[in-house]
Chain A
Amino acid sequence: MRVLMTENLRINLDTEMWECRHCDKVLISARDNYKRGLLAYDRDPREIHKPLLDPTKYVLTYSPDPTWCRLIEYYCPQCGVMTETEYLPPGHPPLRDMEFDIDAMKEQWKHRDEVLKEPGGKDYPRANRNRTHSGQPMARLFTGEKPA
């Protein structure tokens, strides 16, 4: 029984291991911090959030200050997918963001069918064309009348 835990990770309840959903790489024990099964990289946030104001003219440029803020990227060691990211002050310990009771999960999933594809989101119907907020075009969305 495999349980989809995030966009990128799942837990195999039979082997009690974290696995990559993209390449099936077995990462680490599901009772352990999944980040220990990944690669981590300390990125200067200015590489992603590039200065949009001229740094020769201004101190603040839309880029985070790298002496205050670091961007930590976590990669699957096999396929290189970016499994997680977190913004931390320099030197701050990475967060253990997920810690599950595997025995309780096993008991819970005894009564459920395996979910192979995440159930997705729900969108309420709306018109993609004739985007409008008011007036005749809005009325036409309800009447179905074509514009002249």
Chain B
Amino acid sequence: MNDMTITPEDKQLLDKFLKDNQLFYIADPEIMHDHDIGPRSEEEERLLSGPTDPHLINMVRGRILAAMDEGNTMIEQMGAAPGAKWGDIVASIFTANGDLSMIAPHGVVGFAACVHYPIKYIIKYWTHEPTVGVHDGDGFIHNDPRYGGIHGTDQSCIMPVFYREKLVCWVSCTIHEGENGATEPGGMPPSAESRYDEGLKMSPFKVIENFQLRRDLVTFLQNMVRDPKLQLEDMKVKLHTCLRMRERVLAILEEFGEEALTISLRQHIEDVQEEVRRRIEELPDGTTRVLTFPDSTLRENALLKFSMAVTVKGDRMTLDFRGSSPEFINRAINCNAASLKTMLLTSYLQNVWPDLPQTMAVFGPIKMLFDEKSVLNGSFETPQPMSLIPLFKAMTIPTIPMAKLSYSLPHRYTAIVAPQYDQPGTFIYGGLTQNGENVGNFCADINGNGQGGRNHRDGEHSVSPPFAANCDIGEMEVIEEELPIVRLGAFTLTKDRVGFGKYRGGLGYEMIASTRGTDMWGFMTGCTGSLFTPSQPLFGGYGPPVYPLCKIQDINIFEQLAKNPGKIKFDMLDMMNNQTVEGGRYSTHPMAMTFELCQNGEVYMMCQGTGAGYGDVLLRDPALVIKDIEENLISHDTARDIFKVVFDSDTLIVDAEATKALRDAERKSRLKRGKPFDQFVKDFVTPEPPEYLPYYGSWDDPTVIYGTSNGKRIKMKGTEIQSMFMPNPKDEKIKALEKQLASVKAELDACRGEAKKKK
């Protein structure tokens, strides 16, 4: 009865039964854990083991890149999503096995870098599935990051390309669509408490047959989102972009032959890997590290630790994220490791090796380590719609350990750069527009992050999002035409909110927004960094300040402007400090706000942030400090107190000698106040995180993880992390108020008792 031995025949039968009766085609861990390119196919092996013609390959590569560029431009010109208009898009091409080969030169590499996961899934599960299949004229849609993808707002259209009845490659295009039917509008809901609050979660499925969208499925998808027009328009845009790219690829095949295409796609990524190995090998062997501490789950303040260590040994590199915060089972900021890897890649391709071809193969030679159930490696059931918090960190923190590894090289591939501002600083909006349309999306201000200081010059102001170099921040006139958002202040650089340093970070800008023309409109924001400095600085610079969300409520600013147009200066500091809007209820909040309705004329204000500073402030050229005053980037006080420059307030002429004396005096003060490191550690370091801090992650030992679940602090082994469960902040607030009420009541009763006694 208990004898479990089975014959080989039975085993075969059992395997077949299980294969034929799979309950649920969940994301395949074998695919999702492998970010490297696959082995050569038999045909690739045959073609690449013999001599190849580099001129032919180069010619074909040029033609492919031109086709991708054309595809990208088509999306940009035709796309309906705000993200598409300002560059949050990509067009890309994959080998027949599904490895990413090339992307459009102006596209977002991360968007393409994660599409190899769904393509490999389609190849593995749908090719031989009789109810699906992969045929000429088919196209697939996908957005769930658990199957590959950055986050649920990004929808990809994936199309196999057949030539003479043989699958020769795949093309795809991706747009940050925004709205996806999530629990809050805009597709990035901080209030999501489970993955079922995320809206559309599309595992890869066929939505195009015979080169046409299946209208029944399109209708189903439209019915699931707040913006059905957007859903239809952009599905059409992506289909026709894929068709154009397919047409171009077929022309290449006709002109150069199938072998030339196969060799070009594969050789391209193999060459990249060879170059990456060479670049790793020229770095010093050793380990460099960085820590960063997001200060919110977007529902409550919480201090999370993200830890990254880069180890080089010969031509091998390992990125180790162990010791980071545990995952949160009912909060939106978890991220899966496959998504994180693509954004790490973005950081490397934007800040470390920008001259390399933009493809996922760059990361093939790099190994990565995560704890299971870490917030950076969230499990399948965790909600992940605001994975942007870990992802923005992934886009920016590698610059620090990589700078410390590569500074010594005799040559540079680009400047050494301090981290860019690492928060998605933008308003996310939703509601009914003045044109009577239901929408939900985000403002393109997410693309305006300040760059970090560099080894030879200051960072650029509001240069780009950290995930792509070629995205723009949008035109207010276009936005105001479509949406009931009125930007009372836009693109004013944030004076004094600067990552100071020898070379300062580029500044962010103020966003002062209101609404008019509709009673059903609201905003939300999804940033951390209102208590703890977001981006870490480099080589003795300072990081950015922290940024609050500011509100002026219970007023209609348009009525006040009509009466007295000159009174209000659209400057956040002036409006908040001098309270120039009469009768307003003024408040500041962490920059994490779940969706709330904004009444006509109420004012919501936030900032895009500055990049971190590079180098000691006392080494900054006084002339650059004065230039910053002239450009209204810093105040006189900042020039004197932080940069220690002495100058005439009226003429701004620097007193060089007095400046030198002031800086020398400051260096002496440093020597006086600084403690020898060992003594400092003895005085500063505590054995555990302070009791009052809601702290998540390791402390002194990366294998021991702290967390607080359901109000109770726990200590876990890094190999046995459990998910954190967070109480509802409103319940917590009610609890605190009830406690307060009870104590006031008790006091009142005591008073009454006393009074009675006296009587």
Interface assignment of A123: CB less than 8 Å from any CB of chain B: yes
- Which chain B residues (333-351) contact chain A, with CB distance < 8 Å? none
The winner among B407, B408, B675, B678 for most chain A CB atoms within 10 A is: B408
Are the CB atoms of A82 and B536 closer together than 8 Å?
A: no
CA distance A42 to B586 in the complex (A): 33
As a 0/1 sequence over residues 1 to 19 of chain A, the CB contacts with chain B under 8 angstroms (1 = contact) are 0011111100000000000
Q: Choose from B404, B536, B680 the contact partner of A87 (Cβ within 8 Å).
A: B536
Are the CB atoms of A97 and B286 closer together than 8 Å?
A: no
CA distance A94 to B700 in the complex (A): 9
Contacts of A97 in B (CB 8 A): 288-290, 400-401, 404
Are the CB atoms of B671 and A8 closer together than 8 Å?
A: no
Are the CB atoms of A91 and B293 closer together than 8 Å?
A: no
Q: Choose from A37, A40, A85 the contact partner of B542 (Cβ within 8 Å).
A: A85
Contacts of A127 in B (CB 8 A): none
Contacts of A92 in B (CB 8 A): 685, 689, 699
Are the CB atoms of A82 and B546 closer together than 8 Å?
A: no
Interface assignment of A138: CB less than 8 Å from any CB of chain B: no
B454 to A, closest residue via Cβ: A121
Are the CB atoms of A3 and B588 closer together than 8 Å?
A: no
Are the CB atoms of B667 and A91 closer together than 8 Å?
A: no
CA distance A74 to B541 in the complex (A): 11
Interface assignment of A119: CB less than 8 Å from any CB of chain B: yes
* Complex interface: stretch among B172-180, B423-431, B526-534, B740-748: B526-534
- Which chain B residues (388-424) contact chain A, with CB distance < 8 Å? 400-401, 403-404, 407-412, 414-416
Interface assignment of A135: CB less than 8 Å from any CB of chain B: no
Contacts of A101 in B (CB 8 A): 284-286, 313
Interface assignment of B545: CB less than 8 Å from any CB of chain A: yes
Interface assignment of B130: CB less than 8 Å from any CB of chain A: no
Are the CB atoms of B685 and A98 closer together than 8 Å?
A: no
Interface assignment of B686: CB less than 8 Å from any CB of chain A: yes
Are the CB atoms of B616 and A82 closer together than 8 Å?
A: yes
A87 to B, closest residue via Cβ: B533
Interface assignment of B54: CB less than 8 Å from any CB of chain A: no
Are the CB atoms of B616 and A8 closer together than 8 Å?
A: yes
Interface assignment of A26: CB less than 8 Å from any CB of chain B: no
CA distance A112 to B284 in the complex (A): 13
A104 to B, closest residue via Cβ: B285
Are the CB atoms of A5 and B407 closer together than 8 Å?
A: yes
- Which chain B residues (628-681) contact chain A, with CB distance < 8 Å? 637, 641-642, 666-668, 670-671, 673-678, 680-681
Are the CB atoms of A73 and B533 closer together than 8 Å?
A: no
As a 0/1 sequence over residues 677 to 706 of chain B, the CB contacts with chain A under 8 angstroms (1 = contact) are 110110011100110110100011000000
B671 to A, closest residue via Cβ: A80
- Given A36-B677, A60-B548, A60-B588, the answer on whether A95 and B541 have CB atoms closer than 8 Å is no
Interface assignment of A67: CB less than 8 Å from any CB of chain B: yes
CA distance A52 to B575 in the complex (A): 12
In the assembled complex, how far is the CB of residue B32 from the closest CB belonging to chain A, in whole angstroms? Answer: 30
Interface assignment of A29: CB less than 8 Å from any CB of chain B: no
CA distance A61 to B572 in the complex (A): 12
Q: Choose from A80, A94, A98 the contact partner of B681 (Cβ within 8 Å).
A: A94
The winner among B284, B285, B403, B685 for most chain A CB atoms within 10 A is: B284
* Complex interface: stretch among B154-162, B263-271, B432-440, B494-502: B494-502
Contacts of B686 in A (CB 8 A): 90-91
B533 to A, closest residue via Cβ: A87
Name the interface size band of chain B: 35 or more
Are the CB atoms of B407 and A118 closer together than 8 Å?
A: yes
A3 to B, closest residue via Cβ: B408
B669 to A, closest residue via Cβ: A80
A48 to B, closest residue via Cβ: B542
Are the CB atoms of B412 and A121 closer together than 8 Å?
A: yes
Contacts of A64 in B (CB 8 A): 531-533, 545-546
In the assembled complex, how far is the CB of residue A26 from the closest CB belonging to chain B, in whole angstroms? Answer: 15
In the assembled complex, how far is the CB of residue B622 from the closest CB belonging to chain A, in whole angstroms? Answer: 17
Are the CB atoms of A49 and B545 closer together than 8 Å?
A: yes
CA distance A8 to B666 in the complex (A): 18
Are the CB atoms of B674 and A53 closer together than 8 Å?
A: no
As a 0/1 sequence over residues 73 to 99 of chain A, the CB contacts with chain B under 8 angstroms (1 = contact) are 111010111111111111111111111
CA distance A93 to B291 in the complex (A): 11
In the assembled complex, how far is the CB of residue B592 from the closest CB belonging to chain A, in whole angstroms? Answer: 12
Contacts of A57 in B (CB 8 A): 576-577, 586
Interface assignment of B445: CB less than 8 Å from any CB of chain A: no
Are the CB atoms of A39 and B671 closer together than 8 Å?
A: yes
CA distance A80 to B291 in the complex (A): 25
The winner among A52, A83, A122 for most chain B CB atoms within 10 A is: A52
- Which chain B residues (459-490) contact chain A, with CB distance < 8 Å? none
Please give 17 more A-B residue pairs, beta carbons under 8 A apart, in addition to A81-B616, A94-B677, A101-B284. A3-B408, A6-B539, A7-B502, A7-B540, A48-B642, A49-B533, A57-B577, A68-B303, A68-B531, A77-B674, A77-B676, A81-B618, A87-B532, A93-B681, A97-B288, A104-B284, A108-B285
- For the complex of A and B, the 5 pairs showing the least CB-CB separation, nearest first, are A39-B674, A121-B415, A80-B667, A91-B686, A100-B286
| Chain B residues engaging chain A, CB cutoff 8 angstroms | 282, 284-291, 293, 295, 303, 313, 400-401, 403-404, 407-412, 414-416, 454-457, 496-497, 500, 502, 530-533, 536-543, 545-548, 550, 573, 576-577, 586-590, 614-619, 637, 641-642, 666-668, 670-671, 673-678, 680-681, 684-686, 689-690, 692-693, 695, 699-700
A-B contact pairs, 13 of them (CB 8 A): A4-B408, A8-B539, A8-B540, A36-B677, A40-B674, A52-B497, A57-B577, A60-B546, A67-B693, A74-B677, A75-B674, A93-B685, A97-B288
